[in-house]
Amino acid sequence: MNVLRPTLLTLACLLALPSHADDLPSLGDASSAIVSPQQEHQLGRAWLSLLRGNVSQLSDPQLKDYVESSVYKLAETSQLQDRRLEFILINSPDLNAFAAPGGIVGVNGGLFLNAQTEGEYASVLAHELAHLSQRHFARGVEAQQRMQLPMMAALLAGIVVAAAGAGDAGIAAIAGTQAAAIQEQRRFSRQNEQEADRIGILNLEKAGYDPRNMPTMFERLMRQYRFDAKPPEFLLTHPVTESRIADTRNRAEQAPTGGTEDSARYQLMRARVQLFYEGTPGLAAKRFRALLDENPKLDAARYGLALAQIKGGQLNEARENLKPLLAKAPNDITYNLTQIDLDITNNRLADAQQRVDRMRQLYPGNYPLRQVAADLLLKQNKPAEAEKSLEALVKNRPDDPDVWYDLAEARGLSGNTIGLHQARAEFFALTGDFDQALQQLDYAKRRAGNNFQLASRIDARQRELLEQQRMVKEMMR
């Protein structure tokens, strides 16, 4: 696996550099001549389907919503010009994050475990977005005498799969392109790392964060993993050295003080991830109780304890721990979503519905809230209403396989068999199983019978999926 060390962390090629950037190398159109932005976008979505089909993912809507909103906040002040981003949360406690060609942003659960504050978390992602905006991978490809698109696509597809942990498939894909010999050349150069640090620090400041979070994160990671025989992938591809820490510290200290270092919401999301990777709810509850004993005012620990108690079936205890949190912040969406979850678990569906209705007046577009509203309708044996709710949600999140999966379930329960097969087709396409997707559309078309308009729409979608499948197969040749 040594040949695969670069992984997705070393792949970055999104769009040209803005003309107003200071003292950065001139890219001209050379990188775009190799792979156009639209090709990057299409290939990126195909790579993402491969990745989804080969990794375990975190499907928690609240975590997904947090990652998406926090990265978009950074993207707004970054030098990215094409901000059509797609996200994947990988179920791994290892420290890793990446931003891949075509605007694909991936975050391991382990990033939350290692980044102790929101500022530290943001510093990692600001660095990755800087690799994208400076098109470091595309510039490396240009230096390699303009590698042809099919070979690059196949190479990157193999690295995507390998980075996800499916080593055999990734190695086979890379070997098939005869590209193993150039893998070490894909590692970011020291110059590119310095540039990404510098641009990332500027982005952190513009986004309202204290850029000192970046050297602080680097310093702690160096101490934490200094003597590890096998440090996390992020540190293998982004080595943290004394000189790098000093350079980022010097640059960050030039910024004015007062930027954001942490937020309550980040600590709540971090508690959710910490619970997920604990061995049992009991162990998690013990750890959160210990934190509360040290600091009774630590809301994130009380929140984590309530989550652990819900997961462990201690529903009355969870209710008591949520009371002071809701009393302090009665409209907080995170606390209210947890209370809704508790009421559903306790079969207090009327109470859950009442709270959902109140929260939807306050947060009408909130994705996790819309998701739990649909789940509650299913619990109340209202599949037709749940279907309608999820159809509205999928219009906002057409590339989210989790929503398509839930929509398929709702359609099946409501008796919409054609819609069931169509939703399953979208789920399978987004997770890289095009054969299954096409088969589901065949099932839908057979049931469409003499409905010519519906059959025509299904035919058109089949043609689109066949083209996507062809693109993916080109990558894997």
Domain ranges for the chain, please list them: 34-263, 381-476
Annotated binding-site residue? 193 = yes
Mean pLDDT over residues 55-67, rounded?
95
CA gap 8, 136 in Å, rounded: 12
The answer to whether 238 and 90 are in contact (CB under 8 A) is no
Q: What percent of the chain has pLDDT over 90?
A: 58
Using pLDDT thresholds of 50, 70 and 90, give the confidence band for residue 12: very low
Annotated binding-site residue? 421 = no
> What's residue 292's pLDDT?
96
What residue spans of 179-256 are helical by DSSP H? 190-206, 213-225, 233-237, 242-253
Q: Taking 90 as the threshold, does the pLDDT of residue 57 lie above it?
A: yes
Q: Taking 50 as the threshold, does the pLDDT of residue 146 lie above it?
A: no
> What's residue 412's pLDDT?
98
Mean pLDDT over residues 310-335, rounded?
98
Annotated binding-site residue? 127 = yes
Kindly list the catalytic residues. Answer: 128, 197
Q: Taking 80 as the threshold, does the pLDDT of residue 374 lie above it?
A: yes
The answer to whether 55 and 167 are in contact (CB under 8 A) is no
> Does domain 381-476 correspond to CATH entry 1.25.40?
yes
pTM for the model? 0.85
The answer to whether 48 and 136 are in contact (CB under 8 A) is no
Contact residues for 285 (Cβ-Cβ < 8 A; gap 6+): 305, 308, 309, 312, 314
| Average pLDDT value over all residues in the chain | 82
> What's residue 145's pLDDT?
44
Using pLDDT thresholds of 50, 70 and 90, give the confidence band for residue 468: confident
Mean pLDDT over residues 356-371, rounded?
97
> What's residue 154's pLDDT?
55
| H/E run at residue 86 | strand 86-90
Residue 345 sits at the vertex; the CA angle it makes with 341 and 350, to the nearest 5 degrees, is 75
CA gap 219, 242 in Å, rounded: 8
Q: Taking 50 as the threshold, does the pLDDT of residue 336 lie above it?
A: yes
3 state DSSP class of 100: strand
Mean pLDDT over residues 422-438, rounded?
96
Mean pLDDT over residues 208-223, rounded?
92
Using pLDDT thresholds of 50, 70 and 90, give the confidence band for residue 50: confident
